[in-house]
A and B are shown apart, each in its own frame.
Chain A
Amino acid sequence: MSNEFYIGYEDTPPRSLSRLLGRVALGLAVILLVIVGAVAASQSPAEPGNYDFGVEKSFEGILVEGALPLLQVGTAPGAITNYLLVGSGKFGLPIFARGHGGEHVQFRGSLIQKGDAVMIEMNDPTSFAAVKTPSNEIASDHSIGPVSLTGELVDTKCYFGVMRPGAGKVHRGCAARCLHGGVPPGLLLRDSAGNALVVMLTGTGTSKLDLDPEWAARFIRVEGQLLMRGNVPVMEVRRLELAD
């Protein structure tokens, strides 16, 4: 132990303590590098996704209301793209777009995309215009059949790209808030290789799913009818329960 006495208000510490402090600072730097590096390197990689925050594009198509609000772009079989629709912040289809189901509409919004899943954040009410002519060009669903699936309940707006990562316990409060606000719920499924697929969850017919938002980020088991609505996998849920 050094026999020198340290007094903080003096301009310089004793020489031996100066050397020690230098070594301590160096040691702390090394420990910091190792620990922070290990923590950072051990993170699960965030999945790819995109959110054109602050970038608005024009969209035009048929507004499909009901259990799962969509913008259907294109009418020819095989050339249809369904865009999921949500509002700004943690809300589902905005009020200004409601009541226009089946109409041709145009508006500006920000694109959210993960793989084949595409979603539009309708954040510019002034750009919304509806062609009042009702359309009969809404594509029909392709039924796959009854299934039972188990996965994580996610809010699709965050999971598809607004937040990365947009799933898991840390994100749970946000997911619950989003589901409460009307963002369409999805069931996140993963295979053994970690590949992910999200199936949109609705009630049967045109009814929305009666879902407890507090189940967000928890594992649930759902039973119902699986179908493809254009490019969007959808499950009309007859029964659901917690599975974790």
Chain B
Amino acid sequence: MSDHYRAIDWNRQKRCYDAALAGLVVMGAATFLGVTAWVSPESTAETLILRTTSVLAFFLLHILLAIGPLARLDPQFLPLLYNRRHLGVTIFLLALVHGLLATIQFHALGDENPLVSLLTAYSRDYRVWSDGRWQLAHFPFEPFGVLALGVLLILAALSHDFWLKRLGAGLWKAFHLLIYPAYVLLVAHVAFGILQTERSPVYPILLGIGFLVITALHLLAAAREKVRSTTAAAASSEGFVPVGAVPSLEEGHARVLKVGRQRVALVRHQDRLFATGNVCRHQGGPLGEGRVVNGCLTCPWHGWNYQPEDGCSPPPFDEVIPTYRLRMIDGELWIHPVPLPTRTASTGVALPENGSNPQPKGAS
């Protein structure tokens, strides 16, 4: 987090992450090259580079897509999320080498502009229905790869805090959700390309397993998310809505409340409960899954801090999240879904001595 964007220093964790990533890339490349040299020693160097980069990029893309839902299912995987943008940029670089070399290898030095040839070399087969039957097997696979590489280029270019700051977390995050269409495009690129040439069942099996794993992880994470959020009931008097009996929260812990269509982070800090916005200003991380560290609610994704009382980041930083009023009525916790004016300090509601349930109290 910052009062203005600036380069983030490398720390030991980041270096370890990048070293592990580099190790995976080197090990994967060595494995592919070694095995290919054994089973297909006549392959040209260009073929080796094309296939090595594509296999590694596609494998790492699966890892990247799995990290999000894994971290939602088990916070122990959150460290994989912290430096995920380096993984994304690595995937883009591998895909870029693959795309450039394929364009040069297959389409340069001919009687047509290579980029035009890339999309038109056998353009008649864009018709998937002809002669009274489907012709899907002949459909060009190159456009899927071109589009996916374009998306990866945009995401890699935006993978910097400069753009995060300029675009805002919401728009920045929306751009990065384009990774899902890119994944679908790459599945099509593989299915219409190499799967039409190679006849081993290993390829469709691995492609199917990868797709199923990614889909299943996202569905599981979504289901867990639904269960984990406590949903407030209908609105009642003075605009407050009941949350129900407050579940036990350890000191410094938080949880997510769903109030109408918005999510709120409920935080226990110094034996009081506070309610803040759930969305981190950095990348939209779930603050209700964070902890209070050094007096600040800390985002589990990248460690951005907010004071539970007023939602402000500690000086000199200037980020702020909404805060909400809480009330105890007949042993139940109530929340007002309209945020307090920005930077308004709240005293929260006090917890009893044993710390398990809040004492009934008026508006905080």
A7 to B290, CA, bound (A): 10
Which residue on B lies nearest to A2, using beta carbons? Answer: B76
Flag whether B361 is at the interface (Cβ < 8 A): no
Flag whether A88 is at the interface (Cβ < 8 A): yes
Interface string of A196-222 (1 = CB under 8 A from B): 000000000000000000101010000
Flag whether A65 is at the interface (Cβ < 8 A): no
What's the nearest-Cβ distance from chain B to residue A61, in Å?
26
Residues B202 and A40 in contact, CB atoms below 8 Å apart:
no
Flag whether A145 is at the interface (Cβ < 8 A): no
Number of interface residues of A (CB under 8 A): 58
How many residue pairs, one in A and one in B, have C-beta atoms under 8 Å apart? 194
Residues B79 and A8 in contact, CB atoms below 8 Å apart:
yes
Residues A35 and B59 in contact, CB atoms below 8 Å apart:
yes
Interface string of A7-41 (1 = CB under 8 A from B): 11111110001001100110011001101111111
Residues B78 and A6 in contact, CB atoms below 8 Å apart:
yes
Residues B298 and A7 in contact, CB atoms below 8 Å apart:
yes
| B43 contacts across to A, CB distance below 8 A | 43, 46, 164-165
Q: Which listed residue, A13, A49, A174, A216, touches B13 by the CB 8 Å rule?
A: A13
Residues B121 and A176 in contact, CB atoms below 8 Å apart:
yes
Residues A170 and B121 in contact, CB atoms below 8 Å apart:
no
User: Given A36-B55, A173-B122, do A90 and B40 touch, yes or no (CB 8 Å)?
Assistant: no
Residues B206 and A39 in contact, CB atoms below 8 Å apart:
yes
What's the nearest-Cβ distance from chain A to residue B182, in Å?
20
User: Given A20-B76, A48-B42, do A39 and B202 touch, yes or no (CB 8 Å)?
Assistant: yes
What's the nearest-Cβ distance from chain A to residue B141, in Å?
7
Flag whether A99 is at the interface (Cβ < 8 A): no
Residues B59 and A43 in contact, CB atoms below 8 Å apart:
no
Interface string of B287-320 (1 = CB under 8 A from A): 0001101000010101100000000000000000
Residues A163 and B46 in contact, CB atoms below 8 Å apart:
yes
| B125 contacts across to A, CB distance below 8 A | 214
Interface string of B188-224 (1 = CB under 8 A from A): 0000111011111011001000000000000000000
What's the nearest-Cβ distance from chain B to residue A35, in Å?
6
Residues A39 and B42 in contact, CB atoms below 8 Å apart:
no
User: Given A7-B293, A35-B59, do A43 and B109 touch, yes or no (CB 8 Å)?
Assistant: no
Most chain A Cβ neighbours within 10 Å, of B35, B41, B55: B35
Chain B contacts to A: CB under 8 angstroms: 8, 11-14, 16, 20, 23-24, 27-28, 31-32, 34-36, 39-44, 46-47, 51, 55-56, 59, 63, 74-80, 82-83, 105-112, 117-118, 121-125, 137-138, 140-142, 192-194, 196-200, 202-203, 206, 290-291, 293, 298, 300, 302-303
Q: List 8 A-B contacts (CB under 8 A).
A: A5-B290, A8-B13, A17-B79, A36-B28, A45-B40, A46-B47, A169-B197, A173-B142
The 8 closest A-B CB pairs, nearest first, are A89-B109, A8-B82, A40-B35, A168-B197, A90-B110, A173-B121, A42-B200, A174-B106
Chain A contacts to B: CB under 8 angstroms: 1-2, 5-13, 17, 20-21, 24-25, 28-29, 32-33, 35-49, 88-91, 163-165, 168-174, 176-178, 180-181, 214, 216, 218, 244
